[in-house]
Amino acid sequence: MKKNEITVFESPDFGEIRTLNINREPWCVLKDICRVLNILNLKDLVKR
């Protein structure tokens, strides 16, 4: 895998989450996580 290359993690429970490695640490795309958690706007995200 190339540095910072986006890959897709797929699960039957919550669908697709885009991920990438930055400095050998796994990162997820926040928009995908919010979709899974049904967080529709930034104010809801801050509350949680």
Alpha-carbon 24 to chain mean position: 16
- Kindly tell me if the per-residue pLDDT of 1 is higher than 60: no
The pair of structure tokens assigned to 4 is 């910072």
CB 37 within 8 A of CB 47: no
The pair of structure tokens assigned to 34 is 């919010």
Q: Which residue has the higher pLDDT, 48 or 2?
A: 48
The pair of structure tokens assigned to 28 is 């997820």
% the chain with pLDDT above 70: 90
Q: Please state whether the predicted TM-score (pTM) of the whole model is above 0.85.
A: no
CB 20 within 8 A of CB 7: yes
The stretches of 1-48 forming alpha helices (DSSP H) are 30-36, 42-47
